[in-house]
Amino acid sequence: MIVEMLDPGRLLAGVMAAMSLLAQLPPPTSPGAPTKAATEPDQTQAPAKVSVEPEAADSQIGARLENILKATGWFEQPRVSVKEGVVFLSGVAETDEYKAWANNLVHNTQDVVAVVNKMQVRRPSAWNFKPAIDSLKDLWLRLIGGLPFVLFGGLVLVTTIIVARSTRKLAQRVLKRRIEIPILRDLAARAIGFIIFLFGLYLVLRISGTTQLALTLLGGTGLIGLLLGIAFRDITENFLASIFLSMQRPFLVGDLVEITGVLGYVDRLTVRTTVLLSLDGNFVQIPNSVVYKNTIQNFTNNPSRRDAFTFTIPIQTPIEPVQKALMEVLKSHPDVKQTPEPAVLVDHPVANGVVAKVYYWIDSAKSDVNNVRSSLIRLCMNALIEARLLPLPGPTEVVFPRGMSVTRLNTPDDEVKKTTERPRPTGADDRNGMTEAEQHAPQGSSLKAATKEARPVEIGPDLLASSNGAMSK
C-alpha cells in the first residue's frame, strides 16, 4: 500500500486534481468588503465546468448552453449550435466582458472541441446617460455611508484646533520666563501648536479611511516645505534674518545707526524690515536680509564719539601758536571730553598754507554732535582772530602808475589805534560755550516730536519692543 502511494504517477495526478479544485474556489474577501452583485460577471475567474451527460450529443450541448445564456439576461437573442463538438455562438452581448464570459463558458463545457464566437457587442449610444447616472447614484450612496465618519472627523478637527491654540498660548506663557526674544518665543509656541494640529489632522484622515493620504501628507511635509522655501526665498531670508537680528541685537530702538549708506534712528524691527527714521524726518525701510548681510555702524552703542573739523592756516602764519590757541579752546569747552585727549594736527599742505585738523571726543548720549561742532568752530575762529593769528581780509591793492597826492591829517593817536585795532569777537554763553542759536534740543528728541503725527509705515509686532530706546513709542 505504501509503495502504491509513493508511485510518482499517482502523486502527480493527485496534485493536479487538488490544483484544479483550488482554481474553482472563489477568492477570499476581506471582512466588511462589499460583495459583487449577482448580475455582474467575475472576469478574474472562468466559469465552472458545465456537465451535461456522459458522451453528450451536440443537440444536448447546444440546448444546455443556450439555456444558460438566456438565464443570465446579459445577451439578446442568444443562439447556440453545435456540430461535431464545435460550438457556434451568435446573438448580441451587452459588453465585451460578457462576450468573453460566454466564450469561457463554452470552453468549460463537457465534450466541447472548439468555439466559434460570432456574437456582436452592443455599442452604447453617445446620448446614453445611464453610466453617468449610475456613477452619481454610487457616489451618493458612498457619501451617505461615509457621512458619520465625516461628522466625527470634523468634530475631531475642531477639537484639535482648539487644543492647538490653547497649547500655543500656554507655551507662550511658559516660555516667557525662559526665552527673552519675542520672535523666538512666538516661533517655538507656534511650532508646538502646529505639531498638535498635524497629529489631529492625521487622526481625521485615519478615521475617514484615507490612511494612505495621511501618510503621504505627513511624508510630503518636508517636500512641501522645500518647495515653499524656494518659491518664497526672499521672505524666508528676511524672516530668518529678523530672528538672528533679534537674538544678536546689534542695535536697539532709538539708536543712531548707518546701514547701507542710510543714517538714521532705529524706529522698529519687524519680521520683514528694519525701519529707520532718517535725519530728514523720513521713514526708511530696509529688508532684514540686507541689514544682516551688510555693515552696521552704531553711533549710540558707545556714547563716546570722536568728531573732527579742519582749519586752513595761511602760509605767513606760524603753526605752533595756532595749535596752542585751538587746544585752549578744546580744553575749556564743557562738552569736549579730556579722556581721550583732543588733538590739533597738521593734515596736509595746500597752495596758500597748510590744513590743520581738530580731533575731539564727546558724549553723544548727552551732547549733540552738530551743536558741539558748531560751537567749537565758532570759538576757534574767535580765538584765532583775537590772537591775531588769522589775518582779516584787507582792502584790494590798487596801483596808480602816475602817482597821486596824499594829505596827512592831524588825527589823535587814540583814534588811529581804534580804527586799526581788530574787533574782539563777541563771546558765547559762559555756561556751556554755546550761543542761543546752538542751544536747541538734540536731534533725536526733535525728530521724535516731529514724527508724532506720522502714519505708521508697517503694521506688525516690534521685535525690539522689550528694549529701551530714545525713539521707542
Question: Domain segments of the chain: what residues?
Answer: 36-121, 130-231, 304-363+368-392+426-441
- DSSP H helical ranges for 55-129: 58-72, 96-107
pTM above 0.85, yes or no: no
| The CATH number of domain 304-363+368-392+426-441 is 3.40.50.410 | no
- With residues binned 3-state (H G I as helix, E B as strand, rest as coil), the percentages for the chain, rounded to 5, are 45, 15, 40
* Residue 253 near residue 276 (C-beta atoms within 8 A): no
Confidence class of residue 200 from pLDDT cuts 50, 70 and 90? Answer: confident
pLDDT over 90, % of the chain: 14
Class of 36-121 in CATH: alpha beta
* Residue 275 near residue 469 (C-beta atoms within 8 A): no
* Alpha-carbon distances, residue 408 vs 348, 405, 411, 419 (angstroms): 46, 10, 9, 16
Q: Name every residue whose Cβ is closer than 8 Å to that of residue 461 and which is 6 or more positions away in sequence.
A: 182, 270, 271
Q: Is the pLDDT of residue 228 over 90?
A: no
Cell of 180: 527673552
Q: Is the pLDDT of residue 248 over 90?
A: no
State whether residue 119 is helix, strand or coil. coil
Q: Name every residue whose Cβ is closer than 8 Å to that of residue 374 and which is 6 or more positions away in sequence.
A: 434, 438
Cell of 379: 570759538
User: Which tens digits make up the pLDDT trace of 112-145?
Assistant: 888 898 888 877 666 767 778 888 888 888 778 7
| The CATH number of domain 130-231 is 1.10.287 | yes
**Mean pLDDT across 383-402:** 68
Confidence class of residue 358 from pLDDT cuts 50, 70 and 90? Answer: very high
Give φ, ψ of 345 to 5 degrees.
-125, 145
